[in-house]
């Protein structure tokens, strides 16, 4: 047996202090504040490390018999409990307003998306927070939204790569999102998690779209500055030329846009609040599918940060007739922007504008739309 003299200093330390430490833990209680801190840290760590619910377990959407296959969809920032600075609207308020102003007359599922998915705890907590809503969860993939190896704005990026991917996802990548890829939806209400419907909508929007064969519904328009739409007008004209001199579906709107362009800016829809005929936008129309293909191959969403907002506007006059785009009159708020005020002349009915909706709005605000 080795004597005390042959033991290293580190071994002596362990032999002396380990029994003392064990004795202290067993017989002296931990301070309440320390214990609480430890418990909180353990709880937070367990939440961070909790496995997400995989996409293959995505619940199928449930509709009532005869109900239109429509849903609201939102790409959510995490943590979902955050207020996100001084924004007028944020996730919790957006959901509260959906419960108050959308769901009573539009009792459709609400799909919450996050690229990293959702844990069972998050799913449980959100459903408990809004038990009156039919909430579903999904994990969209951005993997197919690959940027060019060299981007034109590499030296001075116009936006982050993440933002550009979001624009690509909103424009054409959403076709591959859960529930849309599997064709469980005919209509989609897309709303940002910092957009709030602040006025009750008194009618079923999807039913109105179906009745009038509406492809796209919006509330607000604005102008995107030249630096983020650079090359877009030329792209549109070249696309038309290469596709048998394609004639726009709404030539009157296109002519007005071309006659009133200024400073290189482009009109755009506020796509933080929009309604789409999913089949029309992504599956039924070969000409629209072809437009997405050419757009994706151009890489211009990544090169020049073209957004889904001006691209939706281009599609409005290229592919949809003047009675296929509808404008809601109800009020809503987006982030820190000024409120998009109600334009309803009949608050009880809230009749949307259908015939030449975009052209009427442009003529009314051609100098002030921005």
pLDDT for res 56: 57
**Confidence at 287, pLDDT banded by 50, 70, 90:** very high
What pTM value is reported for the model?
0.85
Q: Which residue has the higher pLDDT, 55 or 148?
A: 148
Task: Specify the range with the lowest mean pLDDT, choosing from 10-14, 152-156, 216-220, 319-323.
Answer: 10-14
Residue 86: phi, psi to the nearest 5? -100, 25
Rounded to whole angstroms, how far apart are CA atoms 304 and 157?
9
As a whole number, mean pLDDT of residues 269-298 equals 98
pLDDT for res 370: 54
Question: Which one, of 118, 52, 129, lies nearest residue 96 by Cα?
Answer: 129
As a whole number, mean pLDDT of residues 167-182 equals 96
pLDDT for res 163: 95
As a whole number, mean pLDDT of residues 186-198 equals 98
As a whole number, mean pLDDT of residues 147-176 equals 93
pLDDT for res 144: 84
Return mean pLDDT, the chain.
Answer: 87
As a whole number, mean pLDDT of residues 227-250 equals 97
Instruction: Please state, in angstroms and as integers, the Cα–Cα distance from residue 350 to each residue in 34, 201, 320, following that order.
Output: 57, 8, 23
pLDDT for res 261: 81
pLDDT tens-digit profile of 335-360? 988 999 999 998 888 999 999 999 99
pLDDT tens-digit profile of 95-148? 999 999 999 999 999 999 999 999 999 999 999 999 999 999 999 988 889 899
Q: Using alpha carbons only, what angle is made at residue 196 by residues 127 and 61, rounded to the nearest 5 degrees? A: 40
Q: Does 223 have pLDDT greater than 50?
A: yes
Rounded to whole angstroms, how far apart are CA atoms 315 and 317?
6
Rounded to whole angstroms, how far apart are CA atoms 46 and 99?
31
pLDDT for res 263: 86
Rounded to whole angstroms, how far apart are CA atoms 341 and 172?
29
The CATH fold of domain 55-365? Spore Coat Polysaccharide Biosynthesis Protein SpsA; Chain A (3.90.550)
Rounded to whole angstroms, how far apart are CA atoms 126 and 106?
20
pLDDT for res 12: 46
The terminus-to-terminus CA distance of the chain in angstroms comes to 88
Of the chain, the percentage scoring pLDDT greater than 70 comes to 85
Element (H, E) at 26: helix 9-27
pLDDT for res 181: 95
As a whole number, mean pLDDT of residues 149-175 equals 93
Residue-wise over 101-117: b if at least 16 C-beta within 10 A, else e? bbbeebebbbbbbbbeb
Rounded to whole angstroms, how far apart are CA atoms 224 and 19?
70
Q: Is 55 helix (H, G, I), strand (E, B) or coil?
A: helix
């Amino acid at each position: 047996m080795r004597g005390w003299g042959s033991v290293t200093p580190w071994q002596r330390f362990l032999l002396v202090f380990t029994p003392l430490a064990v004795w202290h833990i067993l017989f002296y209680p931990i301070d309440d504040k320390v214990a609480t801190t430890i418990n909180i840290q353990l709880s937070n760590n367990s939440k961070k490390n909790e496995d997400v619910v995989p996409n293959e377990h995505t619940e199928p959407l449930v509709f009532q018999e005869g109900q239109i296959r429509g849903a609201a969809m939102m790409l959510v920032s995490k943590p979902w409990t955050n207020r996100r600075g001084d924004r007028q609207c944020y996730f919790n308020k957006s959901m509260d307003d959906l419960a108050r102003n959308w769901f009573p007359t539009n009792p459709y599922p609400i799909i919450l998306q996050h690229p990293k998915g959702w844990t069972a705890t998050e799913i449980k907590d959100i459903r408990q927070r809004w038990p009156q809503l039919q909430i579903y969860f999904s994990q969209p993939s951005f993997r197919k939204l690959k940027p060019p190896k060299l981007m034109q704005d590499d030296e001075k990026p116009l936006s982050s790569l993440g933002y550009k991917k979001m624009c690509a996802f909103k424009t054409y990548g959403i076709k591959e999102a859960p529930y849309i890829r599997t064709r469980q939806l005919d209509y989609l209400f897309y709303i940002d998690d910092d957009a709030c419907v602040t006025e009750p909508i008194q009618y079923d929007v999807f039913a109105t779209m179906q009745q009038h064969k509406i492809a796209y519904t919006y509330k607000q328009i604005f102008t995107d500055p030249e630096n983020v739409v650079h090359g877009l007008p030329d792209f549109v004209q070249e696309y038309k030329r290469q596709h048998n001199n394609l004639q726009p579906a709404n030539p009157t709107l296109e002519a007005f846009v071309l006659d009133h362009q200024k400073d290189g800016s482009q009109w755009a829809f506020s796509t933080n609040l929009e309604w789409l005929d999913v089949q029309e936008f992504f599956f039924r129309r070969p000409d629209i599918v072809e437009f997405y293909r050419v757009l994706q191959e151009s890489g211009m969403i990544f090169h020049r940060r073209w957004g889904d907002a001006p691209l939706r506007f281009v599609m409005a006059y290229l592919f949809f007739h003047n009675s296929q785009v509808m404008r809601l009159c109800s009020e809503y708020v987006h982030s820190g922007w000024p409120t998009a005020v109600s334009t309803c002349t009949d608050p009880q009915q809230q009749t949307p504008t259908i015939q030449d909706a975009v052209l009427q709005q442009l003529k009314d605000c051609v100098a002030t739309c921005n």
